């Protein structure tokens, strides 16, 4: 899609702007993210907020458990944030037997810990907490900062997926519930994150900058996972929030009113390192404000207006004093002085594929994989 007029700085509908280097606008000034989202969102729009599809999903999960008996109907990763918490809320309403999984990477906020305790108390579900070796994980995270790459949250995301997969297999579960949803999470630019299963990338960055051996970190090979997917050996992923007209405000209100749950300060801010990554690291080093993508998604489904989103982008900025406190906290936890950490963040950014990564392998298998996915979609999850 090519612009026919001089390119505007910001979309005429949402709040995406040229901080996405690949953004393009049509002659009305509408960005490619809006244009691409509209047909996608139509697939996840239900008449009268019909819950029939959610009920079908629940029956599908229970049928799998009956066909091949297991310890739980499904596993669900919980962070204390709205999406995963509401998945637990719905699962309890539909009488699913769920094992809750939480990955403790050493950065949980007080609110997220309390929210997880609330979920366990209100549902009666079992909880397994995977506690990462702090010294080893800190060394991996520091490596990503020293590497000057964008997605410094990748080690956490990788560990979460790997842990869910392993625990699901351990308990012979057939399904992983996920709070991922198209309505509130679509439209994040591809250039704003890296592939979460890039095991080679994690190893190469850690090898270049790490000081400690990587012994316990839960790695999961991307290609092993893909091959098992083709063979039907992976657990099924089910996304409850894609099966009705999910409204985040409604969900948060129900969780607060019914359970005494506390809303985080923003999307994915139930982790202090993710909060710092989104609020300071990305804006300072890459000129990226992820709230633009988050709020733009809400604009497209009618939960926010463009003017409300613009106002929130300005009002929700932390004061310089608050930012300095958070900066000092993160620096100290990593073992850096403020001056050392500032120098790291101000160093020139580098692309993830500057280092060895799975990208070369992915290029080789991308065409045959896409062919299989298009021709035999039921084989690939």
- What is the model's pLDDT at position 4? 39
* pLDDT score of 222 more than 90: no
Count of the separate structural domains present in the chain: 1
- What is the model's pLDDT at position 264? 82
Separation CA 198–CA 359 (nearest Å): 8
282 within domain boundaries: yes
How many Cβ atoms are within 10 Å of 196's Cβ, its own excluded? 19
142 within domain boundaries: yes
Q: Looking at residues 100-104, what average pLDDT do you find?
A: 98
Q: Which of 281-290, 311-320, 352-361 reaches the highest mean pLDDT?
A: 281-290
- Binned at pLDDT 50, 70 and 90, residue 266 comes out as low
251 within domain boundaries: yes
Contact call for residues 77 and 178 (beta carbons, < 8 A):
yes
365 within domain boundaries: yes
Contact call for residues 310 and 318 (beta carbons, < 8 A):
no
* pLDDT score of 317 more than 90: no
The torsion angles phi and psi of 191, rounded to 5 degrees, stand at: -75, -5
- What is the model's pLDDT at position 6? 55
* pLDDT score of 255 more than 60: yes
Ranges of H-type helices in 8-153: 32-42, 52-67, 82-93, 110-123, 134-147
Separation CA 323–CA 99 (nearest Å): 37
Query: Which of 93-102, 218-227, 286-295 shows the lowest per-residue confidence on average (mean pLDDT)?
Result: 218-227
Separation CA 296–CA 17 (nearest Å): 10
- What is the model's pLDDT at position 232? 74
Residue 264's region, left for phi above 0, alpha for psi from -120 to 50, else beta, is: beta
Instruction: Kindly report the average pLDDT of the chain as a whole number.
Output: 91
- What is the model's pLDDT at position 132? 98
Separation CA 153–CA 52 (nearest Å): 36
* pLDDT score of 187 more than 80: yes
Separation CA 144–CA 202 (nearest Å): 8
307 within domain boundaries: no
| Buried/exposed code over 251-289 (b: 16+ C-beta within 10 A; e: otherwise) | bbebbeeebebbbbebbbbbbbbbbbbbbbbbeebeebb
The interaxial angle of helices 154-170 and 199-209, nearest 10 deg, is 130
Instruction: Give pLDDT tens digits for 6-35.
Output: 568 899 999 999 999 999 999 999 999 999
Q: Looking at residues 332-343, what average pLDDT do you find?
A: 97
Contact call for residues 244 and 54 (beta carbons, < 8 A):
yes
- What is the model's pLDDT at position 88? 98
Higher pLDDT, 304 or 318: 304
How many Cβ atoms are within 10 Å of 356's Cβ, its own excluded? 15
Q: Looking at residues 184-200, what average pLDDT do you find?
A: 94
- What is the model's pLDDT at position 5? 47
CATH number at residue 322: 3.40.50.620
Output the CA–CA distances (angstroms, integers) from residue 167 to 9, 164, 217, 368, in the order listed: 46, 5, 14, 30
Higher pLDDT, 199 or 67: 199
Instruction: Give pLDDT tens digits for 40-59.
Output: 998 888 866 667 889 999 99
25 within domain boundaries: no
| Buried/exposed code over 320-338 (b: 16+ C-beta within 10 A; e: otherwise) | eeeeeebbeebbebbebee
- What is the model's pLDDT at position 343? 97
- What is the model's pLDDT at position 2? 41
30 Cβ contact list (under 8 Å, min separation 6): 11, 12, 13
* pLDDT score of 159 more than 80: yes
Show the domain range for 101.
49-286+318-379
229 within domain boundaries: yes
- What is the model's pLDDT at position 230? 66
- What is the model's pLDDT at position 156? 97
* pLDDT score of 94 more than 60: yes
Q: Looking at residues 345-360, what average pLDDT do you find?
A: 92
Query: Which of 155-159, 162-166, 184-188, 367-371 shows the lowest per-residue confidence on average (mean pLDDT)?
Result: 367-371
72 within domain boundaries: yes
Instruction: Give pLDDT tens digits for 123-140.
Output: 999 999 999 999 999 999
Separation CA 172–CA 38 (nearest Å): 38
- What is the model's pLDDT at position 226? 74
């Amino acid at each position: 899609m090519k612009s026919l007029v001089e390119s505007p700085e910001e979309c005429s509908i949402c709040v995406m702007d040229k901080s996405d280097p690949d953004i393009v606008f049509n002659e009305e000034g509408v960005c490619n993210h809006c244009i691409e989202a509209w047909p996608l969102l139509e697939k996840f729009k239900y008449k009268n907020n019909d819950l029939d599809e959610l009920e079908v999903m629940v029956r599908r999960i229970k049928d799998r458990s009956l066909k091949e008996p297991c310890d739980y109907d499904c596993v669900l990763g919980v962070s204390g944030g709205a999406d995963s918490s509401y998945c637990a809320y719905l699962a309890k309403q539909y009488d699913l037997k769920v094992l809750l999984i939480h990955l403790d990477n050493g950065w949980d906020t007080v609110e997220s810990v309390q929210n997880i305790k609330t979920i366990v108390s209100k549902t009666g579900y079992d909880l397994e907490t995977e506690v990462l070796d702090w010294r080893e994980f800190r060394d991996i995270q520091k490596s990503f900062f020293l590497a000057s790459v964008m997605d410094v949250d990748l080690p956490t995301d990788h560990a979460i997926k790997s842990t869910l997969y392993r625990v699901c297999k351990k308990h012979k579960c057939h399904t992983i519930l996920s709070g991922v949803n198209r309505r509130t999470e679509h439209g994040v630019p591809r250039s704003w994150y890296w592939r979460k299963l890039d095991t080679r990338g994690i190893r190469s960055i850690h090898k270049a900058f790490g000081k400690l051996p990587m012994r316990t970190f839960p790695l999961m090979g991307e290609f092993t996972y893909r091959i098992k997917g083709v063979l039907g050996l992976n657990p099924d992923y089910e996304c409850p929030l894609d099966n009705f007209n999910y409204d985040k405000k409604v969900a948060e209100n129900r969780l607060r009113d019914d359970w005494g749950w506390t809303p985080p300060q923003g999307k994915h801010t139930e982790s202090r390192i993710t909060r710092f990554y989104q609020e300071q690291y990305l804006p300072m080093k890459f000129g990226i404000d992820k709230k633009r993508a988050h709020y733009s998604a809400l604009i497209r489904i009618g939960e926010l207006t463009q003017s409300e989103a613009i106002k929130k982008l300005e009002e929700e900025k932390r004061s310089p004093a608050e930012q300095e406190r958070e900066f000092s906290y993160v620096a100290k936890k990593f073992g850096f002085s403020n001056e050392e950490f500032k120098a790291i963040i101000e160093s020139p950014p580098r692309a993830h594929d500057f280092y060895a990564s799975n990208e070369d392998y992915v290029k080789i298998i991308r065409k045959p994989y896409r062919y299989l996915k298009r021709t035999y979609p039921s084989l690939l999850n």
